[in-house]
């Protein structure tokens, strides 16, 4: 990120929700001087008080409608199932020309919830920064979260190109590379690269927890053999992932069906001792890992870099 201070992109930014994404945005907006004023809103008085203690904003409101008054950019960072409720609550307080966006990992459902509630005089540009950790809450955020990551925007038909460009510049200043995508395509892509892996992780960890033949102490004791990496995904926010499953249901069910078919084929290969098929699959999947490293989406060091570099930064 450039060290020289540049002009703010917005006069006032309102952050509705101050969990991992919202608090990371607050920190990077402050660091990069992206707005002259940061307004923080969350329904929880305790969380709001913690955000204030962390100095994440310039003003704090439990009432989202109060928070968005006069804001040039409103970022909704709540579980996707609450998107429509938030949109309805803030609709009457949005100033003409304001940009309203979100950070949810399902786009079709968010659009169907939010768009009917928002007035015509604002620019609704749904978004999804593909960045996160298994942690949540205002203490979990860090300004580098979005660096080197993708952010997908799914503007509706007829959206203002100027508004899309402004939001693109915002995410680029946060460190992300922005891509515009059709919402249905987004939901299918994320179903395989994010939603399905989390669902599988939740299921594997749940299965291990249910097994009476393996004690919980043994599960913890021997977790370095691979189980541990599933537990990282399975430790993600339950409310968020409940809503993801309910609000990207069709795409997730499609991916689960395809995964089940491939799992059955793998089961047959193991049952019949088909070493060639197993070797071919494992070789192909290893190449995918190399491609992810080459694309800069992970680093090729032991333990996936988690102990070596907690939050990789750009030079």
**Could you list the pLDDT tens digit for every one of the 315 residues in the chain?**
444 468 899 999 999 999 999 999 999 999 999 999 999 999 999 999 999 999 999 999 999 999 999 999 999 999 999 999 999 999 999 999 999 999 999 999 999 999 999 999 999 999 999 987 778 899 999 999 999 899 999 999 999 999 999 999 999 999 999 999 999 999 999 898 888 988 998 898 888 887 766 666 777 777 766 788 888 888 888 888 899 899 989 989 999 999 999 999 999 999 999 999 999 999 998 888 888 777 776 666 655 445 544 444 443
Residue 19's CB is within 10 A of a number of other CB atoms, namely 25
Quick one: which of 135, 128, 167, 134 has its CA closest to 149? 128
Residue 222's pLDDT is 73
Map out the domains of the chain with their CATH numbers: 10-181 (3.40.50.720), 185-272 (1.10.3660.10)
Could you give the CA distance from residue 106 to residue 245 in angstroms, rounded to a whole number? 9
Q: Which residues contact 177 (CB under 8 A, 6 or more apart)?
A: 148, 149, 150, 151
Could you give the CA distance from residue 157 to residue 59 in angstroms, rounded to a whole number? 34
Residue 314's pLDDT is 40
Burial zone of 246 (CB within 10 Å; 0-12 exposed, 13-18 middle, 19+ buried): middle
Beta partners for residue 151, in sequence order: 129, 178
Beta-strand ranges (E) seen in the chain are 10-16, 35-41, 59-61, 73-76, 99-102, 123-124, 127-129, 150-153, 177-180
Could you give the CA distance from residue 159 to residue 43 in angstroms, rounded to a whole number? 30
User: Encoding tokens for residue 10?
Assistant: 């917005």
Burial zone of 101 (CB within 10 Å; 0-12 exposed, 13-18 middle, 19+ buried): buried
Burial per residue of 287-313, b for 16 or more beta-carbon CB atoms within 10 angstroms, e otherwise:
eeeeeeeeeeeeeeeeeeeeeeeeeee
Residue 299's pLDDT is 65
pTM summary value = 0.81
Q: Are 298 and 304 in contact (CB under 8 A)?
A: yes
Residue 7's CB is within 10 A of a number of other CB atoms, namely 7
Residue 275's pLDDT is 93
């Amino acid at each position: 990120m450039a060290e020289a201070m540049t002009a703010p992109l917005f006069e006032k930014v309102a952050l509705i929700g101050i969990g991992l994404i919202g608090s990371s945005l607050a920190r990077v907006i402050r660091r990069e001087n992206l707005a002259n004023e940061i307004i923080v809103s969350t329904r929880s008085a305790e969380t709001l008080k913690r955000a204030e203690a962390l100095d994440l904003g310039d003003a704090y409101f439990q009432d989202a409608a109060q928070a968005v008054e006069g804001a040039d950019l409103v970022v909704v960072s709540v579980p996707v199932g609450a998107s429509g409720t938030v949109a309805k609550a803030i609709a009457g307080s949005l100033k003409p020309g304001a940009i309203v966006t979100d950070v949810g990992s399902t786009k079709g459902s968010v659009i169907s919830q939010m768009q009917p509630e928002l007035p015509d005089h604002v620019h609704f540009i749904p978004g999804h920064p593909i960045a996160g950790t298994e942690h949540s809450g205002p203490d979990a955020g860090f300004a580098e979260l979005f660096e080197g990551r993708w952010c997908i925007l799914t503007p509706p038909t007829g959206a203002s190109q100027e508004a899309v460009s402004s939001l693109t510049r915002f995410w680029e200043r946060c460190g992300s590379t922005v891509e515009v995508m059709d919402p249905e395509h987004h939901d299918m892509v994320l179903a395989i690269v994010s939603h399905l892996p989390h669902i599988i992780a939740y299921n594997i960890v749940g299965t291990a927890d249910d097994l009476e033949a393996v004690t919980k102490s043994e599960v913890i004791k021997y977790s370095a053999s691979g189980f541990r990496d599933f537990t990282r995904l399975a430790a993600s926010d339950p409310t968020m992932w409940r809503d993801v499953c309910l609000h990207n249901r069709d795409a997730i069910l499609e991916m689960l069906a395809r995964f089940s078919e491939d799992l059955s084929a793998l089961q047959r290969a193991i049952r019949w001792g088909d070493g060639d098929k197993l070797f071919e699959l494992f070789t192909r999947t290893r190449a995918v890992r190399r491609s992810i490293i080459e694309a800069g989406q992970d680093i090729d060091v032991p333990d996936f870099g988690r102990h070596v570099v907690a939050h990789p930064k750009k030079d």
